[in-house]
Every structure is written in C-alpha cells, then in structure tokens.
Amino acid sequence: LNTLKLVQQKLETALPKGRVVLFSRDDHDEYTKDYSSAAPVEPSLIVEAESQDEVATVLKVANDFKVPVTPRGTGTGKSGGSVPLPEGIVLGLKSMNRILDIDVANKMVVVEPGVITKTLQDELEKVGLFYPPDPSSYKICTIGGNVIENAGGPKALKYGVTAEYVVGLKGVWANGKRFEYGGKLYKNVAGYNFVQLLVGSEGTLGVITEITLRVRLLPKVQTDILVAFNSVEDASKALLAIQNARIQPVIAELMDKTCVKAVESFLGNSIPNSHAGAHVIFQVDGNDSDHTQKEAEILSDLCRQHNALDVSLATTDKEKEVIWNVRRNVSEALTAFSEHKESVDISVPPSKIGEYLSHIESLNTSENHCVLGYGHLGDGNIHVNILNLGHSQEKWATLFPAIERSVFQKAVDLGGTITGEHGIGLSKLPYIDLMFSEEDRANMKAVKAVFDPNAILNSDKAI
Ligand SMILES: Cc1cc2nc3c(=O)[nH]c(=O)nc-3n(C[C@H](O)[C@H](O)[C@H](O)COP(=O)(O)OP(=O)(O)OC[C@H]3O[C@@H](n4cnc5c(N)ncnc54)[C@H](O)[C@@H]3O)c2cc1C
C-alpha cells in the first residue's frame, strides 16, 4: 500500500490537477466490471487520460513501481477484459475521443481511441464514407476497444472484422515508451506486422492512443429482408443457394424459435410467424436501387424455394426498425427469463453450423435449463446462451461448467474457436487449454514479456 501511495503522489505531481482519482465504491462502481459475468474487482486509482503524454506518464510510473494497469474504453467488453486488478490503476481512454482527420481523398480516417463507433460511422456517412465493423454495442463502445478486441458484427459477412480496417497505430508500451506503426497505407509489408499483433491483443501488450483506419465508399441503398424458415437447416441451405447465385448478403443474422418466443413475451407483442423454426435477417446493399431491389427479389425467391414460411422486405427506416427490434431485444429477453445466463461467442466454419447447433440442442437434457444459439449465420459466429431456468444454485454450480466446456469443446472439434468476437479475457481463460498447448501459451507469454517485462498490463488475462 505504501507503494501505491507513492505512485499516487508521483502521478498527481506529473498529471493535471484532478486527473488522478482515488477509487470510491459509491462513485466508481462502473470501473469494477464490464458486461461479462466476471466478478467485479475494485481498483485503487483511476486516471481518465486526455493525451498520449498522460498515457505515457501513467505507464512509466506504474512500470517503475510494478503496479498493474488495466486500460479501459467504455467497459462494454464481454470477457472481463477491463475488469481491474486489486491495488491497481484503471487507465481510461474514453476522454481521448477526437476524430483527428477524415481524409476523403485517401479514404482513411485517423481517430483517438475513445471515439464511440457510431459517432465515427455517422461522421463518415456525412461525406459518403463507410466504416463497416458494427458490433451490436456500436452506440456505446469505443473504437480503441474494438481494435484491441478485434470486434466483429453482423456486417462481417460481407465486409470483414475490425482487423481488416486497421492500417496504423500509435500508442505506448508498458514501460512508457511510445510506438508508431503503419499509416495511411493500403499496402505495407516492411518488417514484422506490429499493427496486426496489437489488434486483438486484449490490452496485454500496449495502450493504443491513435488509430488509422481505412474506410469504404458508402453504398447508396440497403434493403433488409426478414425471413421465417421452417428450420435452421433450411436457412443455412438458403444462404448457400443465395451465395451460389452470386449474391453476397451484407448480413445474415439468425434467431431460433426460442429466441423469437422469448422476445415476444418480453415485449408483450405478437411477432408474425413466431412459431417458425428460425428467423433470419438478411441485408443486401449497392448503389443502384433497381439492381439492389432485383437482388432482394432473387434472395427472397431462393428463400421460398427453401421452405420459407414468410418473407418481408424493408427499405424505409420505419420498416427496418420493426425487423431489427426483434434481434436487438434477444439478449435482454433471454436474461429476463433465466436465473443465470452465460453468453459465449464460439465460431465454427460456416458449413458446420447445423452440426454445431444440433450438438447444443442435445445439451438440453432438463426443462430446468436451456442451451441455444443465435447470431451470425453466414460467418459461423454463434452466440451460445446457457440459461438456468429452474435448477437450484447448488445443482447449477455442478451442471454449468460441464455444459459450458462441452459448448466450447464441440466448437474446437469442428475446427472452430472458443471466441469469435469477444476475446478470451478472464471468462474464457479456464478453457484456453482447448485451443492452445502449453508450448503455444509459453510462446505467447514470451512475446508479451518482450513488450511488458514487468507484466503490468492485463497480465491476469487472455493468454
Ligand atoms: C450489448 C452488447 C453487444 C455487443 N455486441 C458485440 C458484437 O456484435 N461484436 C463484438 O465484437 N463485440 C460485441 N460486444 C462486446 C464489446 O462491445 C466489444 O468487445 C468492444 O470492442 C469493447 O469496447 P469497449 O470500449 O467497451 O472496451 P472495454 O470493454 O473498455 O475494453 C475491452 C478490452 O480492451 C482493452 N482496452 C480498451 N481500450 C484500450 C486501448 N485504447 N488500448 C489498449 N487496451 C484497451 C481493455 O483493457 C479490455 O481488455 C457487445 C457488448 C455488448 C454489451
């Protein structure tokens, strides 16, 4: 504790007045947790940095005194990544939220890490540009958090995940030294690719303070299509037929019957065809409305050929809102109906989704629990929800770990991964052995030690 007092004094001397804040349970509860079910932990100090210099100061002092540091965006992570360590410092980045440069000529944008994803998307739209990665949390999460978790989203099917857009990074290593890699470059193969090493590194190597992203031209037309299918299998076959017809949907979001029924009761509204085995939201986009309309019609016909019970098109904002309202409420509806809900984000090769979903269905051995999956049909990333509907807490404590392990194990057996979007963080660390050998983990730790020899940055997580 004396060390912490000294660190506090050093930081208070080096940083602007009021920047260093002593943690208080009453005022700073949000800093103890993220959106995962990882247990909350109280840090000692909070610094919401406002510049790269301030980030460097915090890291230099923390490194000198070997005090743990947990970087934090807005804490929307779903794997415990921004849950701090006791007697450590939370280094917040959300106040570094300036869009520094929208470069229309080069189709690049330079931002600070605390910019909210939707804010960036809205600003780009004004000049006809488009940043596709769209985690469902896009209204509340930061671009820095997206880069560090390599966030995905529904549009990954056509446009890929965050990594595909990051071309340059500035930041600070754990010892307080600054780095700068890449830039406004579409092609750059000089040296090791440190930019992509940092993307998805879960805040274990360095702190990002500036990001250069390539962006796209904004398509002029987007049409959403909600399809009710007899079964998930029919939905998967329809998607394959659509792609074979040379139509690449932007989105193919799957919800099974349990999800739709849960939303129906949660909202108290009746949802058309809620008895259907699966609902899928497709989106097609383009620049020519006639062409996009034609693609939407072909897609609809192919769905009907695969036993679709109903197909509805939405082009106006109001129509789209009706379709997306169901998807947006799935997570909350499932939470409302269960005593404990764990949501994990496995990913399998898309062709294995049917087999994977049959496996999780087979885990429903009691009416007192339910295992179900929804999510990104096209790219194989499924959000598996494990719900306790009525087991006693003692019974659930014995059942849950075996169910969760089986959920992960099957994904790995099918050539998949235990996390497609949310990261290992704290929540998936108990299952990392399914993915990596001891040697693999030692190699990752050796890489970390190059950049963070005193193990101050998120050292309890990810690897
Ligand atoms: C309702 C909801 C829906 C979601 N949907 C999706 C989805 O569709 N796809 C998806 O991928 N994720 C999704 N997420 C998860 C989450 O929003 C993403 O992981 C997001 O990228 C986290 O951003 P954040 O700013 O909240 O980061 P935080 O949660 O604050 O931090 C995440 C990790 O990044 C580190 N970190 C943060 N900023 C920096 C920085 N500048 N430098 C170094 N390390 C840093 C933290 O230490 C932590 O390890 C969802 C979350 C919620 C609550």
Binding site membership of 420 for ligand 1 (Cβ less than 6 Å): no
Work out the number of other CB atoms within 10 angstroms of the CB of residue 409: 14
Q: How confident is the model at residue 193 (pLDDT cuts 50, 70, 90)?
A: very high
Dist. CA 227 → ligand 1 center (Å): 30
The whole-number pLDDT of residue 63 equals 98
Average pLDDT over residues 419-427: 96
Q: How confident is the model at residue 208 (pLDDT cuts 50, 70, 90)?
A: very high
d(CA 393, CA 340): 9
Binding site membership of 347 for ligand 1 (Cβ less than 6 Å): no
Q: How confident is the model at residue 326 (pLDDT cuts 50, 70, 90)?
A: confident
Dist. CA 320 → ligand 1 center (Å): 26
From residue 224, give the alpha-carbon distance in Å to each of 13, 143, 200, 319, 382: 55, 26, 30, 9, 20
Q: Which of 93, 141, 210 most suits a substitution to test ligand 1, by most atoms within 8 Å of the C-beta?
A: 141
Binding site membership of 52 for ligand 1 (Cβ less than 6 Å): no
Atom of ligand 1 nearest to the CA of 94: 25
Lowest mean pLDDT among 254-263, 285-294, 415-424, 433-442: 254-263
Beta bridge partners of 250: none
Binding site membership of 92 for ligand 1 (Cβ less than 6 Å): no
Q: What is the DSSP string of 248-301?
A: --SEEEEEEHHHHHHHHHHHTS--TTTTSSEEEEEEEEES-HHHHHHHHHHHHH
Q: How confident is the model at residue 270 (pLDDT cuts 50, 70, 90)?
A: confident
Whether pLDDT at 378 is above 90: no
Average pLDDT over residues 336-352: 92
Whether pLDDT at 1 is above 70: no
Average pLDDT over residues 297-319: 93
Q: What percentage of residues in the chain have a pLDDT greater than 90? A: 87
Dist. CA 458 → ligand 1 center (Å): 14
Residue having the nearest C-alpha atom to atom 43 of ligand 1: 207
Average pLDDT over residues 142-170: 97
Average pLDDT over residues 398-410: 96
Binding site membership of 144 for ligand 1 (Cβ less than 6 Å): yes
**Contact (Cβ atoms closer than 8 angstroms) between residue 44 and residue 88:** yes
Q: How confident is the model at residue 314 (pLDDT cuts 50, 70, 90)?
A: confident
Q: How confident is the model at residue 195 (pLDDT cuts 50, 70, 90)?
A: very high
Dist. CA 252 → ligand 1 center (Å): 22
Between residues 32 and 318, the one the model is more confident about:
32
Q: How confident is the model at residue 235 (pLDDT cuts 50, 70, 90)?
A: very high
The whole-number pLDDT of residue 181 equals 98
Q: Which of 30, 143, 149 most suits a substitution to test ligand 1, by most atoms within 8 Å of the C-beta?
A: 149
Rounded-to-10 torsion of CA 405, 427, 66, 12: 180
Whether pLDDT at 325 is above 80: yes
The whole-number pLDDT of residue 320 equals 84
* Averaged pLDDT of the chain: 95
Whether pLDDT at 12 is above 70: yes
Binding site membership of 93 for ligand 1 (Cβ less than 6 Å): yes
Average pLDDT over residues 371-399: 94
For 210, which DSSP code? E
The whole-number pLDDT of residue 370 equals 93
Binding site membership of 83 for ligand 1 (Cβ less than 6 Å): no
Average pLDDT over residues 290-303: 97
- The CA-CA-CA angle for residues 193, 197, 199, to 5°, reads 115
The whole-number pLDDT of residue 152 equals 96
Dist. CA 121 → ligand 1 center (Å): 17
Q: Which of 30, 69, 91, 136 most suits a substitution to test ligand 1, by most atoms within 8 Å of the C-beta?
A: 136
The whole-number pLDDT of residue 227 equals 96
Dist. CA 334 → ligand 1 center (Å): 21
Binding site membership of 204 for ligand 1 (Cβ less than 6 Å): no
Dist. CA 108 → ligand 1 center (Å): 22
